[in-house]
Amino acid sequence: ARQALQDSQALIERIFMAVPIPLVVSAVADGSFLRVNDAAVRYLGEPGATDLNGRTMVDCIGIEDRRDVMADLDQRGRIDALEVSLRDGNSRRRDAVITAASLPIGSMRAVVAGIVDITERKAAEAHTRWQATHDALTGLPNRLLFQERLIEALRSRAEGIVALFLVDLDDFKSINDTLGHAVGDELLVAVGERLARGLQPGEFVARLGGDEFVVIVRLPGGVDEAAAKAELLLSALREPFPGAQVC
């Protein structure tokens, strides 16, 4: 029976160490690591480390996320899937999902946790979202994001009016026809950059498509201030555009 128990414990240890996701057992009191597997050492340890001696969960997870972890453990004794921000052994910020459960060890309160890194997945999601809401040529927000921001602006109870400035480039087709589409694209990019440079914090510019742009501005001064803002935008666009030979 004793041999069977030892064999069972050895098997559990081998399984724990071989699991490909980071597994840690840490003390709740100070966050010290009581047991970690090889994947955890590779993920949370410094380059070349063979253990996590000298590091604690406090070093790896921010204070706000620690509060969320403790709140779940205190209320339910477990964490089903909590998204947190971690610092790995190279001090790089990583996005991860933690699944954990309370694990009493004698009189000590501990927690066993599995860590799944989702950094690349979140980056891919953010990139997909950016592509869906931005114009590929100018990098400006597109019609979809413009509609979202316009709804937000109209629903806001902030003081003042919401002003929309629609910018359409006169005779843009002739530029494409005479100078070529490459020059036309350069002009669109330059126009977008000038409009963006003329904005104040909280103001918004988007490309609706073709040669059409739109600017959203909240103005506490009303119509007169809107007219002045329009003149500023037009003045920026009246300056010659280097290379395109248009103004």
pLDDT-derived band at 184 (thresholds 50, 70, 90) equals very high
Q: Are 77 and 101 in contact (CB under 8 A)?
A: yes
Single pTM value for the model? 0.72
The stretch 114-133 carries a mean pLDDT of 96
Instruction: Provide the pLDDT for residue 223.
Output: 87
Q: Are 22 and 115 in contact (CB under 8 A)?
A: yes
35 Cβ neighbours under 8 A, 6+ residues apart? 16, 24, 25
Torsion from C-alpha of 142, 146, 149, 151, nearest 10 degrees: -140
Q: Is the pLDDT of residue 244 over 60?
A: no
Q: Is the pLDDT of residue 245 over 70?
A: no
Q: Which is the catalytic residue, given 65, 88, 135, 211? A: 211
CA distance 133 to 115: 31
Q: Is the pLDDT of residue 114 over 50?
A: yes
CA distance 135 to 145: 10
Sign of CA dihedral 4, 8, 13, 19: positive
In the residue annotation, 211 being an active-site residue is answered as: yes
pLDDT-derived band at 243 (thresholds 50, 70, 90) equals low
CA distance 207 to 134: 8
